[in-house]
Amino acid sequence: MANCPSGSVASVRREIRIHELTGIGQVDISPRGSSFYSEVHTPLVAIIESHANGFFEVELPPGRYSMFSLEDTLLYANGLDGSGHIYPVEVRKGKVAAIRFDINYLASF
């Protein structure tokens, strides 16, 4: 049996930035890595801070958005959809969307 690393999931307080839906061609990728962005060239819709337990909420008009966390001076988002949109989330009228946003760039698998 292989030796598997173990770890735990921890909730964190972070500034969360929500932009209009953003494609990979609308950001400046940081030299730090492909999930880190030094600039996002789409309009900023909201800035919120998660609680110490990682929970956050924001009310937005229906639409599609991209979500980033602020990590030092860079923005982080670890996913693309099949069309090259960065961490897309959809807001539907009258619905609550549960989003799990993993900040896992320091994780070892």
In the predicted model, is pLDDT for residue 1 greater than 70?
A: no
* Model confidence band, residue 88 (pLDDT cutoffs 50, 70, 90): very high
Residue 67: inside a domain: yes
Q: In terms of C-beta distances under 8 Å and separation of at least 24 residues, what long-range contacts does 79-82 make, across chains too?
A: 80/24
Residue 63: the pLDDT is 96
Residue 40: inside a domain: yes
What is the chain's mean pLDDT, rounded?
89
Phi, psi of 67 (to 5 degrees): -120, 135
Q: Residue 41's domain spans which residues?
A: 15-91
Residue 98: inside a domain: no
- How many domains are there within the chain? 1
Residue 41: inside a domain: yes
Residue 99: inside a domain: no
* Model confidence band, residue 7 (pLDDT cutoffs 50, 70, 90): low
Residue 7: inside a domain: no
Residue 2: the pLDDT is 45
In the predicted model, is pLDDT for residue 47 greater than 80?
A: yes
The one-character DSSP state at 40 is E
**Whether the Cβ atoms of residue 17 and residue 47 lie closer than 8 Å to each other:** yes
Amino acid at 50: S
* Model confidence band, residue 4 (pLDDT cutoffs 50, 70, 90): very low
